[in-house]
Amino acid sequence: MFEDQFALGIGGIYSILVLSLTFFFLIAIRIRTIDTRITQLYDETGQRFSNISETLETLDFLEDYSKQLEEIVDEKTEEVKMERDRLEEAYKELKKLDRMKDEFLSNVSHELRTPITTIKGVVDYIQDDDIKDEHRELLRVGNRNINRLNTLVGDILDFAKIEQWPEKLQIEQMTLKEVIDRAVNDVKESAERNKVVLRVSIGDEGKKVESYRTLLKKAIVNLLDNAIKFNQSGGEVHIETAYNEEEGFAQISVTDTGIGIPEEHMEKVFERFYQIDGSTTRRYGGVGLGLTITKRIVEILGGELRVESVVGKGTKFWFTIPIKRGGLK
């Protein structure tokens, strides 16, 4: 009985050993087959990997390289963030300084304009009295210089506040005729004093545009003032309009018969504080802000200011504005 059980146990163990050996043999064959297949893999360029170890080395290299790239990206990202923060702080500081500059110019201009207005009022009052001709001429000279100083202060004040205007104004619907009529009325006295003839040609008088009324008028007044100032006695200033319905814009041009602008100065006339030469300032006054302000106004209006000129014959400034601006309230 015991022997039978022992024999049965030995047989079972033998069977298990045989099965185990067979299993491991089959596994070994399978692994060999897989290994053979792996070592016969081809990469994308058609070259065979010599063995799997090369592949593993490549993967390790790529993993290390990827980690290095991540570290570099993290480092550069931090640098960019720090630089961005620094630039933001610098921008805030510049904005603060810009506001301080604007406030200073505004305050100075206001403090200058108040006494100028008072002096002008007194001079105008005395001129109306019965005084000697030589005294009246002196008052005219004084009044002319007061007007020049008043214009200068006005330019400085406008230059300081120009970027704030759109926030305080709204887009309106208007005809160019009504805006130009008011602008011409503002410069009529100056034209008469300088013996300059004003001519107005308005096409399609009933045609309306959408724009900032105050800024549009100021741009026109500035160009008319400039044309009158640099003209000659008996000269002409011609303002005219045109419409391009297809492209959706209106054009306003101011042409004079004045001294003209040398070609090399054409682009520079729009730069702030630019004068062709010192004699221009002495003869005509101003500090070179008028056209700078006008150019910026036209840009705010959605247009572009341009110029063409012939020395000794005259100058033409013109700009375009959209017929329909949008944002109409």
Tell me: the pLDDT tens digits for 291-307? 888 999 999 999 999 99
In the prediction, which pLDDT does 52 show? 53
Q: What are phi and psi of 283, to 5 degrees?
A: -80, -40
Q: 301 in a domain, yes or no?
A: yes
Stated length of the chain: 329
Residue 6 — very low, low, confident or very high, per pLDDT cuts 50/70/90?
very low
Say what the pTM is: 0.61
How high is the pLDDT of residue 300? 92
**223 vs 66: which has the higher pLDDT:** 223
Q: List the CATH number of the domain containing 252.
A: 3.30.565.10
Q: Highest mean pLDDT: which of 12-26, 160-174, 194-208, 263-277?
A: 194-208
Of 273, 278, 277, 276, the closest CA to residue 288 belongs to 273
Residue 313 phi/psi, 5° resolution?
Answer: -115, -30
Q: Is residue 37 part of a domain?
A: no
Mean pLDDT, the chain, rounded, equals: 77
Note the pLDDT of residue 53: 57
Q: Which of 97-106, 152-161, 314-323 has the highest mean pLDDT?
A: 314-323
- List all residues 6 or more positions away from 58 whose beta carbon is below 8 Å from its beta carbon: none
Assigned domain for 46 exists: no
| 15 within domain boundaries | no
- Say if 147 falls within a structural domain: no
Closest CA to 154 of 113, 103, 187: 113
How many structural domains is the chain composed of? 1
pLDDT at 135: 79
Amino acid at 275: Q
Exposed/middle/buried for residue 223 (C-beta within 10 Å: 0-12, 13-18, 19+): buried
Q: Which two tokens stand for residue 169?
A: 């104004």
The pLDDT value recorded for residue 285 is 54
In a domain, 34, yes or no: no
Task: With CA atoms as reference, report the closest residue to 228 among 287, 282, 183.
Answer: 183
Task: Confirm if 300 and 246 have CB atoms less than 8 A apart.
Answer: no
Asked, for residue 138, whether it belongs to a domain, the answer is: no
Q: In this predicted model, what pLDDT tens digit does every residue of 13-65 receive, in sequence order?
A: 444 444 444 444 444 444 445 444 444 444 444 455 455 555 556 666 667 76
Measured over the CA atoms of residue 113, residue 114, residue 115 and residue 117, the dihedral's sign is: positive
Q: Are 221 and 183 in contact (CB under 8 A)?
A: yes
Q: How confident is the model at residue 321 (pLDDT cuts 50, 70, 90)?
A: very high
Q: Is the pLDDT of residue 318 over 90?
A: yes
Q: 201: part of which helix (H) or strand (E)?
A: strand 197-201
**Alpha-carbon Rg of the chain, whole angstroms?**
42
Encoded tokens for 150: 């008043």
Rounded-to-integer distance, Cα 307 and Cα 255, Å: 10
**Cα–Cα distance between 176 and 36 in angstroms, integer?**
89
Q: Which domain holds residue 179?
A: 169-322
Segment 275-282 long-range contacts (CB within 8 Å, at least 24 positions apart) = none
Q: Please give the biggest Cα pair distance in the chain.
A: 162
Say if 104 falls within a structural domain: no
